[in-house]
Amino acid sequence: MAKRIKQMKQVFLMLMAGMAFCCVHATELIPSVTVDGKVYQNVRWGPVNQGRVVMFHSRGNAVVPLSSLPPEYQALLGNQGGAPTAPVNSPVVVPPLPSAPAQPARPSIIKPTRPSAVRDADWEAYTEERKTKVVLNNKLLNRTDLETLVGYIGSPVRIFSNTGRVTGVMLEVAEMRADVAQAATGLQLRPNLWQRTGKVAFLRNYKPEGEIGILVRLFVARDGEMDGNPSYDVAKEPSFEQWKLLRPVAGLPR
């Protein structure tokens, strides 16, 4: 009986340590993560168990192998060896407490962590450029090169044109109210600062990251009209992988 109680205490301590580690990383909001070629937006990490991690994102959640994540998140979540330490269906054996595997070190600051193999200059350049750069049609562009639209996200729609069926989202265009004071940059998207204009724009192939009715600021390029309304392609914030691939490199043509 005493031996069984000791084992139960060990399991409890391991679970509590795992919960603490997960809670630290759950507070971090990552703009986008690419897993097996699929891009997930607004990602938060959940519990890690036997080489898999729960990933909460803008469209729900998913359980993915740690080995399929980009290197920086493998290192952050403790999969530095690149593979689970035990098969998913293998029985759980509680080791003696002194030899229990140590939990991965917690970062002192919760922020996106660069891969250990990436030069500091690359990561710092990406962190700075993501504030002003977007990706559109597989090109890295300045936000100032595009048109800015602010409005309220509508329902997804399908429109039939001469070229076939086109999917997208309708945006109720908004403008800043003239009777309110200018807000700081980080507070400019408060709904009480904006009003609907009665105009509508079609966002071609756009998949919103939030709920219907939220106020968003988008960087767009006009591509014609659709069903009598102006139609736009919407740019997105680059991931680190996209930035490395699309950034200009000295001496190489782009």
Each domain of the chain, given as residue ranges in start order, spans 2-117, 147-234
CA atoms within 13 A on the CB side of 140: 19
Cα–Cα distance for residue pair 162/227, rounded to 1 Å: 11
Average pLDDT over residues 57-78: 83
Domain covering 147-234 in this structure, CATH number: 2.40.50
Residues in the chain: 254
Residue 254 DSSP label: -
Distances (CA, A) of 10 to 47, 74, 196: 19, 26, 59
Which residue, 154, 196, 191, is CA-closest to 175? 196
How many whole angstroms separate alpha carbon 249 and alpha carbon 52? Answer: 36
Amino acid at 118: V
Over residues 165-223, the pLDDT tens digits come to: 889 999 999 998 888 777 676 677 788 889 999 999 999 988 888 788 889 999 999 98
Mean pLDDT calculated for residue range 23-34: 65
Cα(188)–Cα(130) distance, rounded to whole angstroms?
19
Which one of 43-52, 69-78, 133-142, 223-232 scores highest in mean pLDDT? Answer: 133-142
Judge whether 202 and 232 are in contact, CB under 8 Å: yes
Question: In this structure, are residues 48 and 66 in contact, taking their beta carbons and an 8 Å threshold?
Answer: yes
Name residues whose C-beta falls within 8 Å of residue 216's C-beta, 6 or more positions apart in sequence.
150, 151, 152, 153, 171, 189, 208, 210
Cβ atoms within 10 Å of 58's Cβ, excluding its own: 14
> What are the b/e assignments for 220-244, b being 16+ CB within 10 Å?
beeeeebeeebbbbbbbbbbbebbe
Q: Kindly indicate the confidence band of residue 64, based on its pLDDT and cuts at 50, 70 and 90.
A: confident
List the one residue out of 124, 142, 144 whose CA is nearest residue 240.
Answer: 124
